[in-house]
Amino acid sequence: MKGALVDPRARIGLAVFAAICAACALVPEVFALDPHATDLANRHAAPSLSRWMGTDALGRDLMARVLIGGRTSLLVGVAASLVSVLIGTLYGAFSGTRGGALDEAMMRVVDFLYGLPYMFLVILITMLFSDTARGEALPVFVALGLVQWLTTARIVRGEALSLAQRDFVAAARALGASELRVLFVHIIPNLMGTVLIYAALTVPSVILLESFLSFLGLGVALSWGELVAEAVSVVNPIASRWWLLAFPSAFLAATLLSLNLLGDAMRDALDPKR
């Protein structure tokens, strides 16, 4: 991890991501920003000294909505990524450690799921929840977590297959270690470098997917994707109202770029074979 932080990409990515997280967490509290307070006398007000990011169609402060919407997007991205990485790590490590026919069968399940339409699965899982639950975080956590684990499982399985042939694993088995002990004591701890790499690279893809779901009206209420969708519906060449689209898009793009920079630096530092 220290090697990754030497990389300028990691420093820039970490600094930008930390600044965005700090802004989303602290600024609304410090300045008592309310994302739902309306001011119809100042509808579609352009950015100014009093309203740094302007207002929307109902006169709501866009900065409040962008920063508090950022909390939602970041929380969903991190939580769903943790779920998917946990599932993928356990599934892939177990498959690779056991090997043989069970490993082949488990990988065929992964191949089958890979063949299904990715976005269709996410939308289907989201729609399985009740109408009252939609718009909450839980359905999105579950939907994204259940479809994002496949790549992690494949990568981890390959590493686990290699580790399972190592002498220290053979020695543990010869001393009577159970398969669960081999898995959790000898295999998974030695996979953490690979897991960290793919965890860092999974977060931006999940945030982007959540934003797309929100754009379609299936995501979490008040997120960057929802703000972009609202902006697209009112921005036009006659009355551009550029700020409605520019600010949430800029925060989303900066977050994705910073996380990808950090993930690439971690991959190069922890997996020099690539």
40: left (phi over 0), alpha (psi -120 to 50) or beta: alpha
Distance separating alpha carbons of residues 129 and 143, to the nearest angstrom: 10
pLDDT surpasses 80 at 89? yes
pLDDT surpasses 90 at 15? yes
Q: What pTM was estimated for this model as a whole?
A: 0.83
Q: What mean pLDDT is predicted for residues 45-69? A: 92
pLDDT surpasses 60 at 272? no
Q: What is the pLDDT of residues 100-119, one digit of tens each?
A: 899 999 999 999 888 877 77
Helix (H, G, I), strand (E, B) or coil at 55: strand
CB under 8 Å to 29, separation ≥6 — which residues?
none
Lowest mean pLDDT among 61-65, 158-162, 262-266: 262-266
The pLDDT confidence band at residue 133, using thresholds 50, 70 and 90, is low
pLDDT surpasses 60 at 58? yes
Percent of the chain, pLDDT > 70? 92
Look at 125 and 232; give whichever has higher pLDDT: 232
**Which domains, ranges and CATH numbers included, belong to the chain?**
2-33+61-270 (1.10.3720.10)
Distance separating alpha carbons of residues 113 and 176, to the nearest angstrom: 36
Q: What is the pLDDT of residues 242-266, one digit of tens each?
A: 999 999 999 999 999 999 998 888 8
Question: What pLDDT is stored for residue 213 in this prediction?
Answer: 80
Beta partners for residue 61, in sequence order: 55
Distance separating alpha carbons of residues 5 and 12, to the nearest angstrom: 10
Q: Are 192 and 54 in contact (CB under 8 A)?
A: no
CB under 8 Å to 256, separation ≥6 — which residues?
204, 207, 208
